[in-house]
Chain A
Amino acid sequence: MTTLTLFYIGLYYFAAIVLIAGVAYRITEYSRTPAPLKIPTTPAPITNSGVALRMAREVVLFESLFKSNKWIWVFGWMFHIGLALVLLRHVRYFQEPMWFVVEFVQPYGKYASFAMVAGLLGLWARRFLVDRVRYISTPSDHLMLALLVGIGASGMMTTFVSHTDIVALKAFALGLVTFDWHPVPTDGPMLVHLTLVAILMIIFPVSKLLHAPGIFFSPTRNQADNPRETRLIAPWAAAAERK
């Protein structure tokens, strides 16, 4: 076991713990904070199944963004759908044998990376070209895009430019899951890819990437429009009422 391998094994266990514990902590925090008032953005569904449908449209189709701005929608949707396919494709490195969907998605996932990076570049271009978006962009917004583009580009390199030893990679990845450790592949693009992904995992719970769990807790989207029929009262408000 080389020092390099030990380093990456350590890095990935650390990153995984930070990601899982961090996001779990955030989700606990969001779910424990009460929403004291009914504030769905109306017109809103009046039933809970309607709310589930609204949320699904929001998460899968980016419905509100579509209403809002077609450019951001196109780039954002390309990026996210591309990312979803790429991630699904990556499941193969963690299982043997593969699920059918994972096998099925392999060729699509490969080329979805182009959509993913193109979407990111489109979003990045807006941060320079649109004066309003330039005004609101912080250094971390640019760094986040650089990180994601870096992940996409380095990953594509390993597939399309200089083929990495994919068998070795799978042994390394599976080893992480089964605690039966194997050496990390040592080609440049793969090490860059692995490093950037670990960084992304680590910053996830303290960054704007929290929009992913956040949307499910957004009261304007997850509440049913039924305030005349049901009485919502937060624990802290009920406690004050009893006084």
Chain B
Amino acid sequence: MAGPEFEVPKLTEYTDVPKIKEGAMAHVKSFPAAKASQEFLGYPWELTEDWQERAINKMGDLLGKYRSLRVFMDACVHCGACTDKCHYFLGTADPKNMPVARQELMRKVYRRYFTLPGKIVPWLVGAEDLTKETLADWYSYYHQCSECRRCSVYCPYGIDTAEITMAGREILNTVGMGQKYSSEILTKVQKIGNNLGLPGPALEDTLLGLEEDIELDTGVPVKIPLDVKGAEILLITPSADFFSEPHVESLIGYAKVFHAAGASWTLSTHASEAGNFGLFNGNYEVMKKVAMRIRDAALELGVKRIIVGECGHAWRVAYSFWNTLTGIGYGGNDPFSIELQSQLDSRYPQPMHICEYTWDLIEKGTLKFDKSLNDDRIITFHDSCNVARGSRMGNEPGGQFTIPRNIIRAVANNFHDMAPETIGEATFCCGGGGGVLTDDLIEVRVKGALPRMNAFNNVVQNNGVNFLGLICAICKAQFTKVIPYYGFDRSMVGGVHQLVSTAIKLD
């Protein structure tokens, strides 16, 4: 296997908190973004001459715009509650991967330039000038954070390292230190319509091929419509669903659910991406631009409902931010929001997660299943971080945990949860979220997956689990790649709607 050599951590029954190893991951450098994509996004592509001034100005700008950053810079007391909560620390032992230390990389600069004691007695309060070495540290360690928010659950003040990582990356971009992976994806989604850069005609071909496959397999002409004006439902799904394995199996699952429900639905070429890497980089404008494609498609196609496919961060952006960014939701009283709200069907939440949609149909008795078709599978479910800690499903807090599990239990007979301290709000990230899902960070990804792999291994050993059910495109891609490092077969990884697809009865 190509890439840097490193030692894959050993699986253990519990994930032990390691003794710190300073500098253990200091060598990690994600590939830098090149001119073309940075220019498109409006950032410099090499370190600017006035980097220090630009960085400090940007930090000041962000401190004025984001209460989260403002409060989080001041509130930390170094209590240490977060120090053993990050999967990257647990997997690497590098102390700069402890949430507080990751925050401190920025806080020491904040103190120096924005606080009185930091200006007068920097040595006393741990304040430091912004140097090129600090920027290099930022670049390394702000790309070893998947913005999964696990630390924010355990912080007594709710300090969310994700907010600081996002600000750090935005400042890095501002001085010309962008990351290739995210930069290129944000360019592709804005130029072509999806993160994979799949153009309209290719998408159309792919979907036609899938329709043929489904009909061959089931004998039922299940359709996957594209750009249908006047359809009731617009499905926004991660572009990986169109041809990556196992993602595509879930897309087939959604199509079968829509078919069985007799729904009128469509995909859109213009908005053929649910993912929004703008979230990862802390740039509101870019995140808004990417999200606006969905609003535009919804208005253009005249749909009444917007449903989002299996993707963790996409669901966070959709559920938590779309209303703010694009007016997809309710409660707006400005012309911009009203234009869209008056078109949407107010009997349903907007946007809606595909799991909410499917579970609703199951509860109504619309969908019928032959659960025995999933009997070769013993299933566990991995709560995706952004769904677990950054969003909700259903009407009650915690619906994001119960609804996917309810679906699995409705379509399959064998289900075992992993250890309680590794699921629900305490879930461990897959290790590939937040803009880390790139081969140049494979060491970070493999090591960061350790806590999840330990918990998974336990249910594999004790309960014979052979299927890791997911509702996130990044989790699916990450585990498919990383699970073999730990001795598991990649066919164990799949989507919740893949299970639905297997058991659903069509006519």
Contacts and interface: CB of A to CB of B under 8 A. Distances in A.
Interface in A204-227: 206-208, 210-211, 214-215, 217-221, 225, 227
A136 B70 contact: no
Given A208-B74, A219-B67, A136 B324 contact: no
A136 B98 contact: yes
A130 to B, nearest CB: 7
B85 interface: yes
B443 interface: no
A228 B323 contact: yes
Given A68-B82, A133-B83, A143 B70 contact: no
A219 B65 CA distance: 13
Interface stretch (A37-45, A109-117, A175-183): A37-45
B285 interface: yes
Contacts of B324: 36-38, 227, 231-233, 237
A69 B81 contact: yes
Contacts of B155: 64, 68
Contacts, number: 223
A234 interface: yes
Contact of B397 (A46, A211, A215): A46
Interface string B297-327: 0000000000000000000000111011001
A92 interface: no
Nearest to A34: B67
A137 to B, nearest CB: 6
Place the interface of chain B in its size category.
Answer: 35 or more
A8 interface: no
A227 B323 contact: yes
Interface in B325-373: 327, 329-332, 334, 336-337, 349-351
B400 A206 contact: no
A138 to B, nearest CB: 4
Given A39-B320, A234-B65, A64 B397 contact: no
Given A41-B158, A130-B80, A233-B324, A217 B337 contact: no
B117 A231 contact: no
A155 B371 CA distance: 70
Contacts of A130: 80
Interface in B16-38: 17, 19-20, 22
A126 B81 CA distance: 11
Contacts of B401: 43
Contact of A138 (B78, B84, B95, B320): B78
5 contacts: A35-B66, A41-B160, A43-B401, A208-B74, A208-B76
Per CB-CB distance, the 3 closest pairs between chain A and chain B, nearest first, are A214-B75, A68-B154, A220-B158
Given A41-B389, A64-B156, A136-B104, 16 more contacts: A35-B68, A38-B320, A42-B388, A42-B390, A132-B20, A132-B95, A208-B74, A208-B78, A211-B77, A214-B157, A218-B71, A219-B67, A220-B158, A221-B158, A228-B329, A232-B324
Interface of B: 17, 19-20, 22, 63-68, 70-72, 74-85, 95, 98, 100-101, 104, 115-117, 123-126, 149, 152-160, 163, 284-285, 319-321, 323-324, 327, 329-332, 334, 336-337, 349-351, 388-392, 396-398, 400-401, 425
